[in-house]
Structure formats: C-alpha cells, structure tokens
Amino acid sequence: MKLDRLLSIVMLLLGRNRINATELSERLQVSLRTIYRDVETLVQAGLPIVSYAGTDGGFELQDDWRMNRRTLTLGELTAIATSLRSLQSAPALSAENVDGLLEQVGTLAAQAGRDGGAGAESERILIDLKPWRSSKSDRDKYDRLHQAVLEQRLVRFAYTDGQGDGTERTAEPMGLAHKGYAWYLYAYCRTRDDYRIFRLSRIHALQTLEETFERRPETISQLNGRWDALPQTETVELTLRFANAAKARAEDQFEEAQIERQPDGSLVVRAALPEGEWLTGFLLSFREDLRVLAPARIAEAVRANALRVAEQYASP
C-alpha cells in the first residue's frame, strides 16, 4: 500500500543521514520511478527533503528537522516497537509492511546508541489481536473484506443481529475496526440505506461482488465518533452473588472496584448492566453459580426463564 511505503521512506530518512533511490527501490521492492513519485508526494506534503546528485547523492532531511538521539527515549521507542508488533497480528494488515516499519524503529534505536534497541525491550510485551484458536476461515473473511475495502467493491452476506434475527445485506465496506476483543466491519448498508457496524463473527456466506462503488465522504473516525455519541442503552443496577466456581468468569467480566470478596470465597458484585433480553441470557449463563440479590424483578425474570428451559427437558 502507498501509505505504508511513504511511512517507510520517512522512517528511513529519519534514521539515516542520506539514502539513495536505488536502495529505497530495493528495500521497498518498487521501481525507481515509484520512489521518485513517492518522494515528490512527501515534498508536496511539506516534508523538507533535500535531493543530491552524483555518486554520493540521494535524499536526506534538513538538519533542523531530522530526528536525533534526544528526540525519543528508550521507553518511547519501546512503545512504538510494541505497538508495531501488535499490528503484526492484525488480520487486516500486511505483516510484511509492519515488519519493515519495525526494522526502521530498530535502526533508529541502534543509531541513538540504545543498548539492545527497542526490539529487545518490546519482546517482553505481547499484544496479539488474533482470537484464540482463530480458524483459516476467519482469516479468509478478514482478508476478503479488507480487499473489498481497498478495491471499493460491494459485498453481500448473511448477518445475525444481537437478537438472533438473520437478514441478507448488501453493503459498501468502509473499513475494519478492532474494538474490545472483536473485529467489526464499518459499512454503508444498502439494505438499510444507512451506515452500520457488523461484527465479523456474525457475518456468514460472504460474497465479494464485481460491482464497485464511489466511496462516501465520511471517514472511519467520523463514523466511530457518530456511534460513540449515540444514547446508551438503559442500564439497571444489579447486586449479584457469584459462587467460588464462577469467580474466574466474574473477575473477567467486572472491575475490581465492583467486586466485594467474601470470607467463604464467593463474590458480591454491584454493577450497572444494559437491561433487556441479553441481560437475562448473560445471567443464566452462570447457571447455579449465580444468585441475583437485587432487584427482585430481574431475579424473577431469571427464575422464569430457567423454568422455561427446565420445561423443555421435563419429558423425553
């Protein structure tokens, strides 16, 4: 991708006194003509790149703009390297391009006189965006949607919403986002004639169509801000008691400040959760290891649903 390449050129220029077009061409695996076009793009964007002709010629940044050894601390270089390593696991991104950026950060660290460089420090921290035991079909879905975003091609798929209802959608893919612990597709849904977010795990029977579309003006950041500003679902204040057997799950779900640890090993949790059918199902998933202490209406809803489940198994 051009953006990856431009960033790689900038990182190389920051870490080197001078670098020639031939070396850039070989490192980035593009033609010399492409390198010259990329440098011109960077100059037009305001980067003070100076060109020198001759045997020792090449490109370099003006002295007052180049990064020096005091610009970044080891901690800052480590943070950059760690972030880049996390991007290596992002299914929608090119690991090869991220590897190149990591190499440039390592070069900066070495030239700044850092012992071991940022790479060695960043090996102590792992941020992996891939889910546990992700399948080949999951990766294929990411790759196909990412390609559809780049090529501005329509996609069609079956989608299951949070209530379990299934629909067929035709959409203009705008981008992919990793939020919380899941990947989402940001798209303009032609079926609903509006922007929508689709969780990738709920997308099935994905097809990339031949038809292309003109990308709409909204950016991913603007769409994200729009959805963040939507009114939140009404919540209900709950008091829950978790048995010792459910302690690990409860600690995963709730913040430490919401948990009171009891002498018998159980946990009492006070938290606000979104009210609705989802809440009843969530509470039932803890089976006999959870008791709703308050409010009474939520406890009764859980009890009624549990009885309906039991009735399904009352007779063979």
Residue of 138 and 90 predicted with greater confidence: 138
Query: For the domain with range 136-228, which CATH number is right: 2.30.30, 1.10.3470, 3.30.70, 1.10.287?
Result: 2.30.30
For the chain, give every residue range classified as CATH 1.10.10.10: 2-122
Task: Tell me what the mean pLDDT of segment 196-205 comes to.
Answer: 92
Question: How far apart are alpha carbons 264 and 244 in whole angstroms?
Answer: 8
Mean pLDDT score, 55-76: 67
Residues whose CB is less than 8 angstroms from the CB of residue 282 and which lie 6 or more positions away in sequence, other chains included: 273
Give the pLDDT band (50/70/90) at residue 284.
very high
Mean pLDDT estimate for the chain: 80
Is residue 213 scored above 90 in pLDDT?
yes
The answer to whether residue 118 scores a pLDDT higher than 50 is no
pLDDT at 129: 55
Identify the CATH assignment for 2-122 out of 3.65.10.10, 1.10.760.10, 3.40.50.300, 1.10.10.10. 1.10.10.10
Per-residue confidence (pLDDT) for residue 96, from 0 to 100: 56
> If you ran DSSP here, which 8-state letter would residue 207 be given?
E
DSSP 298: H
pTM (two decimals): 0.54
3-state DSSP assignment of residue 235:
strand
Quick one: pLDDT band at residue 28, thresholds 50, 70, 90? confident
Q: How far apart are CA 25 and CA 13, in angstroms?
A: 14
For residue 72, pLDDT beyond 70: no
pLDDT tier, 115 (very low <50, low <70, confident <90, very high otherwise): very low
CB 15 within 8 A of CB 107: yes
Give the count of beta carbons closer than 10 Å to the beta carbon of residue 283: 21
Q: How far apart (Å, rounded) are the C-alpha atoms in residues 244 and 267?
A: 7
Structure tokens at 264: 């018998």
